[in-house]
Structure 1
Amino acid sequence: MILKILTIALIVIAVYMGCKQGLAMVSGKPEMLQMLGKLGMNSTAIMILGIITLISAVMILIPQTFVWGNFLMAGTILLIMCLELFHGDIKGALIELPFIALNLVIIYLNYPFKFS
């Protein structure tokens, strides 16, 4: 029971963060444009990445696409980490580690409402 509550809390955190970051990318918030712009992404690429992030957040909530949504969100985080490392921003890449770990832990814990 406690494990289910923990899993639900982690899913809520991941979905909230995915929606928040995805909306910031899609709406073109200046901070987001600046951060990802210094990694070589233009506004169109940032918008596409934001849409993918929003889709992955929704997919995490659906039992049939739960794992794929987590993989997709982890993939977008990994992309950002790789770009940061490519541009020599080790601190930025390290900041992303807990977020990618969150998605991997959620995958390990499984969807909390399986009825089978």
Structure 2
Amino acid sequence: MIKHIISLILLIVSVLLSLRHGWSAFQPPTPQQAEMMSILGVSKNALPYFGAFSILIGLLLLFPKTFFISNLMHAFTILVIMALSLRAGNFKIALIEIPFLALPLILIWLKYPFKN
């Protein structure tokens, strides 16, 4: 029972983070976002694609049949961000992303909360 509650809380957090990050990609970038994107080498034209992908991941997390693959896509996206930051020599961003990488992996381990 506790496992299901923890899984549900983490699922809600993961969905909200994905949707928030996806939505923010369609907004004008803040100076911090613009700086981070330039450090990572991501162009401004690629932001809507990342935003749509993030929203798709957040929505796919809600369905039991796509729960596993969406968590894999979420973990892959975070690994790409970490790899880009390490390539740019910015270890701080890579280290900050570690807890966010753990979130989809823990969700995979806990499984979908409403599935029997």
Common topology (TM > 0.5): yes
- Alignment length, in residue pairs? 115
Name the SS of the counterpart of 2:89 in structure 1: coil
Does the C-alpha gap of structure 1 residues 83 and 40 become closer, same or farther in structure 2, counting only changes over 3 Å? same
Task: Name the counterpart of 2:66.
Answer: 65
Kept after mapping to 1: 8 A contact 2:75/2:101: yes
The aligned runs of 1:67-86 (5 Å cut-off) are: 67-86=68-87
Bigger relative contact order, structure 1 or 2 (CA pairs below 8 A, ≥6 apart): 2
Kept after mapping to 2: 8 A contact 1:25/1:33: no
- Structure 2 Cα separation of the partners of residues 9 and 75 of structure 1: 22
For the aligned residues, what is the CA RMSD? Answer: 1.2
Task: Tell me whether 1:32 sits opposite 2:36 in the alignment.
Answer: no
TM-score by length of 1: 0.93
Task: Name the counterpart of 1:7.
Answer: 7
TM-score by length of 2: 0.93
Runs of at least 5 residues in structure 2 that lack an aligned partner in the other structure: none
- Structure 1 Cα separation of the partners of residues 78 and 11 of structure 2: 16
Name the SS of the counterpart of 1:111 in structure 2: coil
Residue by residue over 1:12-61, the C-alpha shift from the partner in whole angstroms, topping out at 9 and shown as x without a partner, is 11111111111111223223333122211111212211111110011011
Kept after mapping to 2: 8 A contact 1:60/1:66: yes
Runs of at least 5 residues in structure 1 that lack an aligned partner in the other structure: none
